[in-house]
């Protein structure tokens, strides 16, 4: 999954949260050392510890990450407003603007360089999490420019922010101000660990028990061949993939937020039950929220947002979604996916939104139907495959080849329990219930059991190469 | 405990499980140990559990070793209840008879009306997409191995809401032809020699249970180029090593070797890369090629074998 989840992961499992090595070795050792570290030295430990874990996973690119820390630390300091006299204020503003432009250009060109290298040579390995730490850097630089945050004086503190091990691979894209507050705060370590653990177990279960299970369905569909699936299976696949993507990324984000809590960061919500939304626009305010708000604050609003007339608003929205598509990965289908969402968002803004507001039931059905269809454009890497899949979803567009009409019943029998569990946890009330009861003893015991069930799955999926190779 | 219940529960259960794994590391988990280098100690408990091995299990009930470690294989070999002579005995007695040998002839689909297919997920694919359901019977299951047939009999056959082993099912039914394709899941387990001994013993047992059936031992289908080039275990050289051995079972009279790789592979002998997504299984629309290959290779034995014998050179 490009952009989402993990990007071309190789090396050791030092940053794969759902691996036994991480859960039983790297994380506990890291936390123990962090706890033993004197309060004053903890920021430095976070920086070096995170960088070390990154280096174990991708040794070469650790220098890139370190370089990015250094570059943006210096840019940040030089973007700081100098106490200049009135007369020089304009000059100072020009200097800062030019510098910001240069700094952002440096960051983005690195990102584009690596992404394009991967387009031309698929075997080229992308630096782990570059999409995320570049965006964190840019947000920091702009915030310093806007004087919303002070340029960080301590290199270790800034480095820790950029390298934070729970966030470096796949976000959430935390703002510097949130991280800085957290890094400096004093708190009861063990209390935070206890709370963070609950989110970690919940996230692990979402990833291992739901997302990884549903991944088998999507794999089955591709093994059969897109042209040979029945129409009901094509729909089951679209729903399955939509849920898989959600539980994979939301699960990952919950684990990241949980670990963030343990090291003192504020709990950062990245998903807010998006499938309960009533429009595509709302869906993306509740899906990968830190990315959405990044584009809002650093692209959409500076371009004028919706304050410069309808035409400009439409252009701004389309541009933001085009960039969102590009950010998610290389390939025309990501751009197409972004534009498709942009069009839907524009349509909702101009016309559809009013109708959806009046008919809530219709609005829910619309989201549950349209979003899975857009995910198919996201998931399938070529236009011809997208064409074939839509031909199966809407069979009047094309005929299947060697279709077995019994395929739907077979797959449904296998995945019905997972679908039921997934649907349940898409309901906001389920989340509220968990937040309210997560301290109750029965819930704590259930979490313990769920944790070991996850470990069972994890060990048998990842550690025994012959068990996943079941033919 | 009141303040940090989850932390303490996880900590205690983790320590307990680690202790159990450590205490039994030379016992029931001995064969899993080699696998453990990069993983936490307690992972062997979970690996074992999926094979039905628990700390309280007797050591003998251990499932087959999961790694292709020479030592463990030798051990299992010595435990083997199938002496080498049994398989050679089968081949020798066949040779002594020296009756007619038969050629392959094209047949139509009704030929398979009394046929049985035994296999793993690839045969399952043939069932689902080969359009043979109305003719043939299929006893197949994803990840089925030759060892599951008789050595550690698995109840992988479901008939009339009952689960049966192959031996039970073969004792209750009569088949005219039996097609067998197994061997890819076994690549990571034991040596080719050990695999073949088990394979020959299984064919022998099937012959015993179905004395009139023509047995078609099918070559293990190859994998596609990408997997062939990168996978240290599931590659075509390893598959071919075992196919060569399977081929020796052919006697031209009632055991025949069929190699569908002839029609499914590219010029380098790898599964056509466009015909598969996962490098191992055919996409649905290509199962018909396999079926057609089988129908091109029927064996017709007249009721009096001597009168209708064709030349087989």
Residue of B126, B177, B181 lying closest to B149 (CA atoms) = B181
pLDDT in tens, A284-294: 999 999 999 99
DSSP letter assigned to residue A173 = -
Q: How far is B257 from chain A (nearest CA, A)?
A: 21
Backbone angles phi, psi at B256, to 5 degrees: -125, 145
The pLDDT value recorded for residue B99 is: 65
Q: Tell me which residues of chain B, numbers 219 to 258, contact chain A at a CB-CB cutoff of 8 Å.
A: 233-234
Which chain A residue has its CA at the smallest distance from B287's CA?
A: A402
Tokens 């994998």 belong to B223
Please report which confidence band the pLDDT of residue B312 belongs to, taking 50, 70 and 90 as the band edges.
very low
Instruction: Kindly state the tokens that stand for A152.
Output: 């960080």
pLDDT at B95 over 70: no
DSSP letter assigned to residue A35 = H
The pLDDT value recorded for residue B53 is: 85
Query: A60 with A154: CB under 8 angstroms?
Result: no
Q: How far is B196 from chain A (nearest CA, A)?
A: 19
Active-site pick, A288, A328, A359, A437: A328
Please report which confidence band the pLDDT of residue A181 belongs to, taking 50, 70 and 90 as the band edges.
confident
Sorted by sequence, the CB contacts under 8 Å of residue A32 that are 6+ apart come out as none
Contact A225 B3 (CB under 8 A): no
Contact B278 A201 (CB under 8 A): no
Q: Tell me the mean pLDDT in the region A197-214.
A: 96
Task: For chain A, say whether B7 makes contact (Cβ under 8 Å).
Answer: yes
The pLDDT value recorded for residue B82 is: 42
Query: Which helix (H) or strand (E) segment is B301 a member of?
Result: none
Residue of B175, B222, B219 lying closest to B199 (CA atoms) = B219
pTM: 0.89
Chain B partners within 8 Å of A401 (Cβ): 284-285
Q: Where are the alpha helices (DSSP H) in B98-151?
A: 121-129
Q: Tell me the mean pLDDT in the region A22-39.
A: 94
For A459, the closest of B14, B46, B66 (CB atoms) is B46
Contact A24 B35 (CB under 8 A): no
Q: Rounded to the nearest 5 degrees, what angle is found at the Cα of A11, between the Cα atoms of A10 and A12?
A: 120
Distance in angstroms (rounded) separating the CA atoms of residues B193 and B248: 13
Q: Residues A364, A365, A370, A376: what is their CA dihedral angle, to the nearest 10 degrees? A: 110
Q: Tell me, what's the ipTM?
A: 0.87
Task: For chain A, say whether B159 makes contact (Cβ under 8 Å).
Answer: no
Q: How far is A12 from chain B (nearest CA, A)?
A: 10
Please report which confidence band the pLDDT of residue A399 belongs to, taking 50, 70 and 90 as the band edges.
confident
Distance in angstroms (rounded) separating the CA atoms of residues B242 and B245: 5
Query: A17 with A57: CB under 8 angstroms?
Result: no
Tokens 């392959």 belong to B104
pLDDT in tens, B246-297: 999 999 999 999 999 999 999 999 999 999 999 999 999 999 999 999 999 9
Contact A471 B121 (CB under 8 A): yes
Write down all domains in chain B, each with its CATH number in brackets: 5-60 (no CATH), 96-296 (3.40.50.1110)
pLDDT in tens, B74-86: 333 334 444 444 4
Contact B189 A444 (CB under 8 A): no
* More confident of the two residues B223 and B302: B223
Q: Tell me the mean pLDDT in the region A156-174.
A: 95
Contact A448 B143 (CB under 8 A): no
pLDDT at B156 over 60: yes
pLDDT at B144 over 50: yes
Which chain B residue has its CA at the smallest distance from A216's CA?
A: B278
Distance in angstroms (rounded) separating the CA atoms of residues B171 and B154: 15
Contact A469 B185 (CB under 8 A): yes
Chain A partners within 8 Å of B129 (Cβ): 224, 228, 402, 404
Sorted by sequence, the CB contacts under 8 Å of residue B32 that are 6+ apart come out as B44, B47, B48, B66
Residue A85: CB atoms within 10 A of its CB come to 7
Contact B6 A194 (CB under 8 A): yes
Q: How far is A267 from chain B (nearest CA, A)?
A: 18
Q: Rounded to the nearest 5 degrees, what angle is found at the Cα of B58, between the Cα atoms of B52 and B64?
A: 50
Chain A partners within 8 Å of B66 (Cβ): 464, 466-467
Q: Tell me the mean pLDDT in the region B7-33.
A: 89
Q: Tell me the mean pLDDT in the region A223-241.
A: 97
Instruction: Kindly state the tokens that stand for B307.
Output: 């009168």
Distance in angstroms (rounded) separating the CA atoms of residues A354 and A469: 51
For B277, the closest of A223, A444, A466 (CB atoms) is A223
The pLDDT value recorded for residue A81 is: 80
Burial of A270 (0-12, 13-18, 19+ CB in 10 A): buried
Known active-site residue A333? no
Highest mean pLDDT among A91-95, B45-49, B193-197: B193-197
pLDDT in tens, A342-380: 999 999 999 999 999 999 999 999 999 999 999 999 999
The pLDDT value recorded for residue B83 is: 43
Residue of A229, A211, A217, A280 lying closest to A390 (CA atoms) = A229
pLDDT at B31 over 90: no
Domain residue ranges in chain A: 13-186, 193-468
Query: Which helix (H) or strand (E) segment is A311 a member of?
Result: helix A309-328
Q: Tell me the mean pLDDT in the region B139-149.
A: 94
């Amino acid at each position: 999954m490009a952009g989402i989840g993990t990007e071309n992961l190789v090396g050791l499992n030092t940053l794969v949260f759902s691996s036994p090595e991480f859960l039983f070795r790297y994380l506990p050792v890291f936390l123990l050392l962090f706890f033993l570290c004197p309060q004053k030295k903890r920021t430095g430990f976070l920086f070096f510890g995170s960088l070390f874990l990154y280096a174990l996973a991708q040794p070469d690119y650790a220098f890139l990450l370190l370089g990015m820390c250094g570059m943006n630390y210096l840019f940040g300091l030089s973007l700081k407003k100098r106490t200049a006299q009135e007369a020089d204020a304009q000059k100072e503003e020009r200097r800062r603007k030019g510098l910001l432009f240069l700094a952002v250009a440096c960051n983005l060109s690195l990102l584009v360089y690596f992404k394009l290298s991967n387009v031309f040579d698929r075997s080229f390995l992308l630096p782990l999490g570059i999409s995320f730490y570049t965006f964190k850097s840019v947000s920091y630089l702009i915030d310093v420019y806007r004087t919303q945050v002070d340029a960080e004086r301590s290199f270790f503190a800034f480095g820790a922010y950029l390298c934070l091990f729970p966030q470096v691979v796949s976000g959430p894209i935390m703002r510097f101000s949130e991280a800085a507050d957290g890094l400096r705060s004093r708190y009861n370590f063990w209390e935070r660990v206890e709370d963070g653990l609950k989110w970690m177990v919940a996230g692990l279960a979402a990833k291992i028990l739901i997302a990884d299970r549903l991944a088998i369905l999507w794999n089955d569909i591709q093994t059969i061949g897109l042209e040979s699936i029945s129409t009901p299976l094509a729909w089951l696949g679209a729903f399955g993939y939509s849920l898989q993507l959600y539980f994979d990324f939301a699960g990952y984000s919950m684990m990241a937020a949980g670990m963030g809590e343990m090291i003192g960061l504020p709990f950062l919500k990245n998903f807010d039950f998006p499938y309960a939304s009533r429009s595509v626009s709302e869906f993306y305010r509740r899906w990968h929220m830190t990315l959405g708000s990044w584009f809002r604050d650093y692209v959409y609003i500076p371009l004028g947002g919706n304050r410069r007339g309808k035409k400009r608003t439409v252009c701004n929205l389309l541009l933001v979604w085009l960039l969102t598509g590009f950010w998610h990965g290389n390939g025309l289908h990501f751009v197409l996916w972004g534009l498709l969402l942009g069009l839907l968002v524009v349509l909702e803004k101009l016309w559809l939104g009013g109708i959806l507001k009046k008919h809530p039931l219709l609005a829910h059905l619309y989201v549950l139907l349209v979003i899975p269809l857009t995910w198919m454009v996201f998931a399938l890497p070529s236009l011809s495959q997208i064409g074939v899949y839509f031909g199966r979803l809407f069979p009047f567009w094309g005929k299947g080849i060697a279709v077995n009409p019994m395929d739907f019943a077979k797959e449904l029998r296998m995945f019905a329990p997972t679908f039921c569990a997934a649907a349940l946890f898409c309901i906001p009330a389920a989340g509220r219930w968990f937040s309210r009861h997560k301290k109750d003893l029965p819930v704590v015991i259930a979490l313990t059991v769920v944790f070991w069930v996850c470990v069972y799955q994890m060990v048998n999926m990842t550690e025994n190469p012959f068990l996943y190779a079941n033919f | 405990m009141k303040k940090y219940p989850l932390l303490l529960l996880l900590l205690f259960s983790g320590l307990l499980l680690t202790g159990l794994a450590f205490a039994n590391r030379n016992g029931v988990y001995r064969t899993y140990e080699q696998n453990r280098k990069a993983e936490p100690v307690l992972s062997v408990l979970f690996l074992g559990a999926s094979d039905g091995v628990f700390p309280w299990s007797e050591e003998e009930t251990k499932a087959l070793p999961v790694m292709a470690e020479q030592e463990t294989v030798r051990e299992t070999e010595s435990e083997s209840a199938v002496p080498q002579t049994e398989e050679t005995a089968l081949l020798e007695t066949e040779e002594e008879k020296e009756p007619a040998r038969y050629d392959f002839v094209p047949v139509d689909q009704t030929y398979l009306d009394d046929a049985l297919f035994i296999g793993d997920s690839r045969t399952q694919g043939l069932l689902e997409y080969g359009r043979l359901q109305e003719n043939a019977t299929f006893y197949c299951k994803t990840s089925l191995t030759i060892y599951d047939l008789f050595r550690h009999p698995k109840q992988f056959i479901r008939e009339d809401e009952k689960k049966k082993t192959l031996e039970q099912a073969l004792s209750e039914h009569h088949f005219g032809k039996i097609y067998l394709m197994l061997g890819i899941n076994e690549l990571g387990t034991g040596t080719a020699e050990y695999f073949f001994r088990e394979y020959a013993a299984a064919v022998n047992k099937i012959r015993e249970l179905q004395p009139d059936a023509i047995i078609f031992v099918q070559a293990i289908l190859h994998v596609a180029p990408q997997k062939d080039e990168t996978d240290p275990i599931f590659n075509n050289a390893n598959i071919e090593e075992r196919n060569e051995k399977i081929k020796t079972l052919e006697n031209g009279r009632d055991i025949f070797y069929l190699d569908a790789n002839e029609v499914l592979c590219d010029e380098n002998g790898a599964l056509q890369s466009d015909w598969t997504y996962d490098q191992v299984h055919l996409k649905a629309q290509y199962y018909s090629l396999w079926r057609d290959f089988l129908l091109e290779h029927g064996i017709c034995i007249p009721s009096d074998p001597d009168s209708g014998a064709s030349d087989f050179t």
